[in-house]
Amino acid sequence: MAAYIIRRLLLMIPTLFGIMLINFIIIQAAPGGPVEQMLAQLQGLDTGVGSRTGSAGSSEISGGASGGSSQYRGAQGLDPDLIERIEKMYGFDKPAHERFWEMLGNYITFDFGDSFFKDKPVIDLIIDKLPVSISLGLWSTLLIYLISIPLGIKKAMKHGSSFDVWTSSIIIVGYAIPGFLFAIMLVVLFAGGSYLDWFPLRSLTSSNFDELSTWGQIKDYFWHITLPVIALSISGFATITMLTKNSFLDEIGKQYVLTARAKGLAPNQVLYGHVFRNAMLIIIAGLPAALIGIFLTGSLLIEVIFSLDGLGLLGFESALNRDYPVVFGTLFMFTLLGLILKLISDISYVIIDPRIDFESREG
């Protein structure tokens, strides 16, 4: 197993390289980069960045206009020396391939540079947003799995019964409602929208959080996180529940289960001593994808609706503003995290079922 882990760790290097290279090419080809946005701002046009441009750009750039030409649209009438200073400020005075290799060299030491528009190191921005994303991702994943796996097992054991039918109906209705729509409904009903005002909307904690006792801080934290976690979890119940049910149904019908029952083993012994280990393999395989999906895509609209400033919102705003250091920094971190989670998933396979041997397969 050690040799397999080492090979997988080494394989992460070309995988990371390929993902970063493809995204670098795509983003470089997209119009409206930071240089264009700064030029448009100097020309008095609305770029959508506004005050987010920060003080660095305005303090480092000054100059008049002339009749010089440039490769950038909107640069007509601006001094070529001014354009060169803008390019140098954003690092665009170098060829694309040099910038790519320099970026990779810095990323090896987790040096992601500074944000173009927020005047802060990218790593500091990521650390600032992590508590929100970790809270939403971990608690929603835990809630989904704690409810869906026991429910899926019970549905498999009672397949075709009235319990199976009405729980499936509820699950289908919940799956049909988008998470962001369910979040809006929760805000309207329970967060002071039109009816009850039981839960807060903004931040993970109250303004007087530091003044509360330990138990008070715990209650305050869960008071803030309850609605976002419920909204983020609702669409995940259906997938995991039905996956668990179908996986257990498939195992229950196999010959080794019939043999175990014929030997007189109790139903729970058959279920948890034989079926559980095999049926849970496919559930474990989907855990890394579920975690990455919740961290990256699932939480974006939830963060917006509940005014939570997390990594999803940071990545979205950075992509819109062409804040390349933040875009590539978050991409690198999430890609690395996804590869590590996938490796952990494979190791979990072996822990649950020692019969699985990845080394012999590769050999």
* Alpha carbon distance 152, 28 (integer Å): 46
Cβ distance 341 to 292 under 8 Å? yes
Report the chain's mean pLDDT, rounded to a whole number.
Answer: 77
pLDDT score for 59:
46
From first CA to last CA, the distance across the chain in angstroms is 12
Cβ distance 339 to 12 under 8 Å? yes
pLDDT score for 286:
66
Instruction: Tell me the per-residue pLDDT of 37-78, one tens digit each, with 9 for 90 and over.
Output: 666 666 655 555 444 444 445 444 444 444 444 555 555 555
pLDDT score for 52:
44
| 359 secondary structure, DSSP code | H
Amino acid at 64: G
* Alpha carbon distance 172, 150 (integer Å): 17
CA atoms in the 13 A half-sphere facing the CB of 249: 14
Cβ distance 284 to 292 under 8 Å? no
pLDDT score for 64:
47
- 48: CB partners within 8 A, 6+ apart: 320, 321
Classified as helix, coil or strand, 167 is helix
Cβ distance 148 to 236 under 8 Å? yes
Cβ distance 270 to 287 under 8 Å? no
Confidence of residue 291 (pLDDT cuts 50, 70, 90): low
Better pLDDT: 102 or 52: 102
pTM of the model: 0.70
pLDDT score for 193:
65
* Phi, psi torsion values for 300, nearest 5 degrees: -60, -60
Dmax over Cα atoms in the chain, in whole Å? 93
Average pLDDT over residues 75-96: 67
Instruction: Tell me the per-residue pLDDT of 190-200, one tens digit each, with 9 for 90 and over.
Output: 887 677 888 88
Instruction: Tell me the per-residue pLDDT of 138-171, one tens digit each, with 9 for 90 and over.
Output: 888 888 888 888 998 889 888 888 998 999 888 8
Reference 332, options 310, 315, 308; nearest CA is 315
* Alpha carbon distance 325, 318 (integer Å): 9
Q: Give the residue carrying structure tokens 């992460």.
A: 12
